[in-house]
Amino acid sequence: MHLFRKATPTLFPAGGRFASAGRVEAAPFGRSEAGGPEVSSFTLDNGLDVVVVPDHRAPVVTHMIWYRNGSADDPLGRSGIAHFLEHLMFKGTEKHPVGAFSKAVSGLGGQENAFTSYDYTAYFQRVARDNLDTMMAFEADRMTGLVLEDAVVAPERDVVLEERRMRVETDPSAQLSEAMAASLFVHHPYGIPIIGWMHEIEELNRNHALDYYKRFYTPENAILVVAGDVTPDEVRRLAEATYGRVAPQGARPVRVRPREPEPKALRRLAVADPKVEQPTLQRLYLTPSCITARDGGCHDLELLAEVLGGGSTSYLYRKLVMESGLAVNAGAWYMGSAIDDTRFSVYAIPAEGVSLEKLEAEVDRVLRRAPSEALNAEAIERAKTRLVAETVYSSDSQSSLARIYGSALAIGETIEEVRRWPADIEGVTRERLATASERWLTPSRSVTGYLVKASDPDAPMAIAAE
């Protein structure tokens, strides 16, 4: 995942923390077209992939361990187990009791975090460079030494259940997002929320967590990314002394996922709730991802999202907000960073007194005209400039660099593809954008959602047909 792409949804652990392809190349890579650092990579004997991103501006390092598993790898009927295990990874090992790792990070003046997404789970710390070996030792121990007792598992499950209540059960917009994803992905696990369904979280137990842990938390299924004031040689030395002692489990786990069938029918749904403060129109289209569109189609969709809906100079904003006045905001985004087919979104917020039905009709009209009206040379060049500029800004952040490379490798991209991204975006033509719009932004590939305020959420609601 590149941070200048639309970010993949992630869930962060609750509590005192901040709320598949082959091995990576074993050679240094030059500076990227966006002015990024030299990146080196190698693989330990136990199969752990290691990426080093030098940044010598301050004596600080960001240490991240990425596992090639996410919520889309949850066993059927156990949704939320990847995220639940992420919580449990902070509950102590045979060597270090619960809280010891976090206390060590805090005592060193560092920061830590962890998150679960559809395709990966990651843990990271940001500390002074002299403490890198300490972080590696703790994280390597946590890769195999996790100790789970029912006394900690049950309370942590209650924490996750409360997290779902707060984030979803009381939030109509989150409920709409879940419903739309479930409708867009009728067969693929991307339609299941990362946090899991409430009734399945309630059934998760210690054995489920340990089974999942033993399957995925292995060195050959992990990627270590170290960004900061380090050299490849010292990272290799420290990694071999810590992670290198972890015994491999054999072949990397195979991710078995159903393929989403080709969509044939447009779908519509609505969430009506008294808590809704601002009605919203949302639209999702099923599209290829950066992995399923290896022919460069994802770059077309990334740039198309920027041209159509990337800020106040975009086509949708200009047409719906500035010219017609039917909306107070409008935009588009594309979630290209995914292993399997993914989503392209268009959204609009109606102006006072404008119905969602009227706004939707105008959105459809504007989108139909996009290939002929939106894709002029000036708009395309402006969008390219914005996207590449965001690359440069992201590359200026040490933690962002670590995330850019870690998330890309975790879904099966290569270091070379990350480096080449700016040039790939620059190479997208108007003809390719028009083809992408006409091919992928079609009604049969879409789910349209209405978020509306209603005094009675149980009352029947009609959604206008197209």
Q: Annotated active-site positions, please?
A: 86
CA dist., res. 91 & res. 98, Å (int): 5
CB 49, CB 218: distance < 8 Å: no
Q: How far is the first Cα of the chain from the last one, in angstroms, to the nearest whole number?
A: 35
Neighbours of 215 (CB within 10 A): 14
CA dist., res. 318 & res. 324, Å (int): 8
SS3 content of the chain, % helix, strand, coil (to 5): 45, 20, 40
Q: Which two tokens stand for residue 191?
A: 């339609």
Secondary structure E strands in 192-231 = 222-228
CB 8, CB 118: distance < 8 Å: yes
CA dist., res. 67 & res. 83, Å (int): 12
CB 369, CB 297: distance < 8 Å: no
Q: Pick from 99, 126, 101, 122: which is nearest to 111 by CA?
A: 126
Question: Residue 380 has what DSSP assignment?
Answer: H
Per-residue exposure over 82-101, b if at least 16 CB sit within 10 Å of its own CB, e if not: bbbbbbbbbbbbeebeeeeb
Which residues lie below 8 Å from residue 379, measured CB to CB, with a gap of 6+? Answer: 307, 315
CB 118, CB 396: distance < 8 Å: no
